[in-house]
Structure 1
Amino acid sequence: MTEYKFLEPYKFLHKDITLKNRVVIPPMTETMGFHDGSVSDAELSYYGTHTGGVGMFITAVANVNDLGKGFEGELSVADDRFIPGLRKLAHAIQQDGTRAVLQIFSAGRMTNSQVLRGQQPVSASAVAALRAGSETPRALSTEEVYATIADFGQAVRRAILAGFDGVEIHGANTYLIQQFFSPHSNQRTDEFGGSVEKRMTFALDIIREVNRVVDEYATKPFIIGYRISPEEIEKPGITFEDTLKFIDVLKDQPLDYLHVSMGSVWRKSLNNPSITTPLNETIKAHLAGKMPLIVVGDLQTPADVEKAATAFDLVAIGRQSLREPQWVQKVEHHDEQAIRYAISPDDLDELGIKPPFLQILIALSGENGIPLTTAKDVNQDAANARIDHYLSGGK
């Protein structure tokens, strides 16, 4: 009888919080919220269906202010009026001891004036993304940057009042925090731009403000995580060398985990063929045991997850958790042969996958049938990669 490492509890290093196992559901874009950012019944059903087995469940992104909205159907934590719905969401997730973490962000330039109801997108600098249809944002003033940092803090206050167990600061997937770190999107000359160290300032100030708010409002230990993307394809863009410099600073910040957003746990550099070691292995070495690392990407079978759990601290299963909400429970009950690796159209209501979410997955699959079919189908590999990228917040 196999005893899996990923089923072992995990206690955070600096907080009196223990996860019942090392399996995490990562943030996945589901676009099932109301137009104003309120939590919908469809979302409550979806989260309630997919939670319970894992140690921690991180929500889809929630914007911290109106200009931070990236797409329709996105959660918002920008106002106190959202707290009652978010409280229902936290409660839906916290079944059987699963920890609920709210991911908070601002889209920055990765949105458009239609989504923003006529407002121009904002970013670190007035530089459009190198993607078809991208609008040129306006640069946030220094005062607006400080106001945005405060908005992240207020978002955390609301998450605490809503009963979440923690927040994840979304510094990945080309959104605003990453835009401040990127030499492509950040051409500022104030204290938030210039050298790689100055381009870290926005993120570090947000971490500082988040911790200040937690100290003021939290009445029990509260998880603070941070998510990164280790490279950019833009030229100039974030290099892996830049990221390692950032991690060398992040590891000494008051954070409880680092979450690396990639399509494969074992991915190597997209830009530098001389890097022959998986990026996550190098990142873990730089963390030097000071905080745990969550890895994600192409983990489907128990063997896949165990291999990652042996090498890293916490493992996240995204696409596979959509197919099989009872993934952990079936492993625990030694019923691995019953794990579902495909979805039938007849399964969609059972899985809580509603039309907005489904249409995204169909479009990304590149095929006419229901996507998320067997991940071992070679013809589906490219579609799965696109799906993983979008679900993790990429556009």
Structure 2
Amino acid sequence: MAGIRMAEPTGVRDGFARGGGSGELRQSNLTAILRYLRDHGPSSRHDTARGCGLGVSTMTDLVGDLRSRRLVVELDPIRRPGAGRPTRPIALDGEPWAVMGVHVEVDRIHVKGTTVGGTDLWQETATASFTDHHDGAEVLARLVVDQLAHVGEGLQLVAVEIAVPGYVTPDGMAVTSRALGWDGAGVGKAVRAALSDAGLPDVSVGLSSDFHLAGLYAARAQLSDASSTVVAYFGGVTEMGSALVVNGEIFRGAGGGAGDLAHLHVQADGAECWCGRHGCLNSVVRVQELLAHAGLRTPEEAAELVVTDPEGAVKLLADGAAAGDEAVCRALDRAGTALGRAVDDVLGSVNPHAVILGGYVGHLASYLMPALDRQLRARVHEGPYAGTRILVTEEEAPPVTEGAVLAARDACLYDPLGLTTPLR
């Protein structure tokens, strides 16, 4: 789709709208109810109707449809203090419908399956050889189909979301990835064809950048009000990645590349990054650069270590800082200054409610924050920016697979008429 897509439903990017007229309005209203319950938890019909701008009679009809599809369920009645009749809250159900989140790395994929309601079904890591094969998209498609064996009896797979280390075309079908050696690889078409051959032609297939999905998960996990906030995410394993999440949804921009904050220019004489720029944030704060700048490894040794032992590489920095190694502390102070410059620019251009630091950035945050705070001091004293929160997550690696699962579940919530059928 052309143009800026703000708060677009994640994982549903077919390039066309399903239905039309009254059918499209009904779909929109059903989705509004499902999103409200996703974001607010079990709620009364009255609160849900008010939150979605729906009338009582319309609400009754729509809830009946969603109950018949096992997408919502009525809970036991509760009596509110001072109220009349007990109310029966409604909540997300979705247990008959399965989804799959897939995180693609250079030599393996991580897969997690859940129900649309969020019940875990299976989790697996499978080895792969994407860079050695002439058609990595076909390899990935076969791996996805292999996972169908885990979808239990009585469940129907309705959506798959695939996280890739690269850029996805605006139609959500093709991938360009330096890490995988893909240049416009037709991943979406290949996976859809493979699922169709396996007897599942109607499964929704979505593709997203891995850091977009990590940011999506971080925003929803860290903020109780993610559906009404703007969040900037920075994280990574050994290199910096980033995302913007607006109102609980990935902000993709005109061509799918919005939120590429890890490549903001922060240092005139900085090292060269894989993106071709000198002095972008990633080139200054990536683990390889920090190890070399701290004198813990030569540049060549650092480059090898982040590939062979990424967790060990980050631990070297953390241990050195904890021991008060002056060279390590200077390297991390320099990195915190660079990160602060980038965050300062983000605060001025996007004015987010929160900035989330995850992955290795979160792991090292206590050593980065003093310099980051110094860079932000002038900015956060101004009224519009004073309320911005800097949050740190505790995960060792960006939660990409979890984000892919969220996006796959969203696909069903945003297309209930197309992906589910009445069961009673």
What TM-score results when the alignment is normalised by the length of structure 2?
Answer: 0.28
* TM-score normalised by length of structure 1: 0.29
The higher relative CO (CA closer than 8 Å, separation ≥ 6) is in: 2
Structure 1 or 2: more helix by fraction: 2
